[in-house]
A = this chain, B = another copy of it.
Amino acid sequence: MNIYDIAKLADVSIATVSRVVNDSPKVSEKTKEKVLAVMEENHYTPNVFARGLGLNSMKTVGLVCPDVADAYMANAVAYLEKNLRGYGYDCILYCSGYEEEDKRQAVELILNKRIDALVLVGSNYAGEGDEDVTYIKDVAKQIPVFMINGYIEDDNIYCTIADDYQAVYDATEELIFSGRQRILFLSNSHSFSARQKLKGYEDALTTYKIPVREELKLYMENSIHTTRDELFLHRNLEFDSVIATEDGLAVGVLKYARARGIDVPGEISVVGYNNSELSISCEPELTTVDARGEILCRTAIDSMMALLGGETIKKKTTIKCHLIKRNTTDF
């Protein structure tokens, strides 16, 4: 039962139902009573979004991401902007950076823009370590919040996440099956997504009774040449394979291996993440995880439009990732 059904049953327009929900003085008392009666008979409770959605709506959605120059985020923003505009919504973009205080400020500022909903792109808003996410919960008291690959449990926060845990668990398992024992976990982040990946890595090792070694978890900047150079600083570290949480890190490993004359995948197997253009630019081309960014965005938009139509929607949707096998692994 949604706003369209109520309009039909009460024999009024959707705009009239919206006016009643928003308590507009433009509706006659008689019409108002009729609509409210139909709503009551059908146990229909208008959701927060429908309530915000009055005639005052600017038909604008706020998009916030840390950095739109990042390929994953750029693709997400491009997809969201194009498809939201297809529904008549404009997008205001805020790039917040990665620092806690900057993210908080961006979210607070964008709320002043009379947006109908907020979309947080990327897993950096779901709290890194002890980070406080109260500011996001506060926004959700006013407008619905949609998270792309982040998860916060609260009313009016709707999350679409990739199953990064399972993807890394499966990739680690494949490496183990192909005879690898010393698997390096290489990451640039402690975001929600990076934490899921780390857990998938650790759980797969534990399942196959391979010790989880602290020295085989390395964190560094996601930059091809920086990664290559950092690995030179760790040249005594022995590993026979790598799971990288970003393709850029994985390409850095390939550069390091080439510089040292190490064969890939013979001596070192490498798995990247995101299936970006980088993964087909390098040599050998990367085995990588397709994190389904576009499907996450499509799901978030479908949910938003359903909520807008007065439907009740799921607060958490998980999308399965897909391992793309190319030439940096021998499985």
A74-118 CB mask vs B (1 if < 8 Å, else 0) is 110111011001000011111100000000000000000100000
**Copies of this chain in the oligomer:** 2
- In chain B, what residue has the closest Cβ to A74? B74
Specify which chain B residues have a CB less than 8 angstroms from the CB of A77 in the assembled complex: 68, 93
Given the contacts A68-B77, A71-B71, A78-B95, A248 and B225 also touching, CB distance less than 8 Å: no
Which B residues touch A67, using CB under 8 A?
78
In the complex, are the beta carbons of B69 and A75 less than 8 A apart?
yes
Complex: chain B residue closest to A93, CB-CB: B93
Which A residues form the contact surface with B (CB < 8 A)?
A: 63, 67-71, 74-75, 77-79, 81-82, 85, 90-95, 113, 224-225, 248, 251, 258, 277-278, 280-283
Q: A-B pairs with the 5 shortest C-beta distances?
A: A74-B74, A69-B78, A281-B281, A283-B283, A93-B93
Q: List 26 A-B contacts (CB under 8 A).
A: A63-B93, A68-B68, A69-B71, A69-B79, A71-B71, A71-B74, A71-B277, A74-B74, A78-B95, A81-B94, A81-B95, A82-B95, A85-B94, A90-B92, A90-B94, A92-B93, A224-B277, A224-B280, A224-B281, A225-B280, A278-B278, A278-B281, A281-B281, A281-B282, A282-B282, A283-B283
